[in-house]
Amino acid sequence: MSAEIELTGANFEAEVTKSTKPVIIDFWAPWCGPCKAFLPTLAQFAGQHPEIKVCKVNVDDAPEIAQRFNVASIPTIIFFMNGKPMDTVVGRKTLADLATHAKNSFGS
């Protein structure tokens, strides 16, 4: 079972901007092969790190969020702390890559 939260324009502020936890957002689309291949890794990371909120933005359903953060390629992962973007990585990443970027972004 997946622990990721699907973000929309309606819930972005509550889930990200006002979050008391660090947040990782995966920008993806259902037609993107690398995005689909990355889904199990993201789900595994979410399961291993309950202290981090893991969210997803379907760029087709919420293009305004992708535009707000200048997402030009997918998958793109943005790491947020206190509602502010701390780091951005583009492309499919490994579990170790996610853990390293989270540690660097969140200091944990």
Average pLDDT of span 20-29:
95
**Residues of the chain by 3-state class (helix, strand, coil), percent to 5:** 35, 25, 40
In the chain, how long is the greatest CA-to-CA distance? 34
Domain residues of the chain, as ranges? Answer: 5-13+22-106
Supply the pTM of this predicted model: 0.92
Q: Identify the active-site residue in 25, 32, 46, 59.
A: 32
Q: Which CATH number fits domain 5-13+22-106: 3.30.565.10, 3.50.50.60, 3.40.30.10, 3.40.50.720?
A: 3.40.30.10
Predicted pLDDT at 1: 35
32 annotated active-site? yes
Q: Identify the active-site residue in 23, 24, 35, 42.
A: 35
User: Per the structure block, which two tokens stand in for 1?
Assistant: 């079972």
Q: For 36-79, what is each residue's pLDDT tens digit?
A: 999 999 999 999 999 999 999 999 999 999 999 999 999 999 99
Buried b (16+ CB within 10 A) or exposed e, 68-102: eeebeebbbbbbbeeeeebebbeebbeeeebeebb
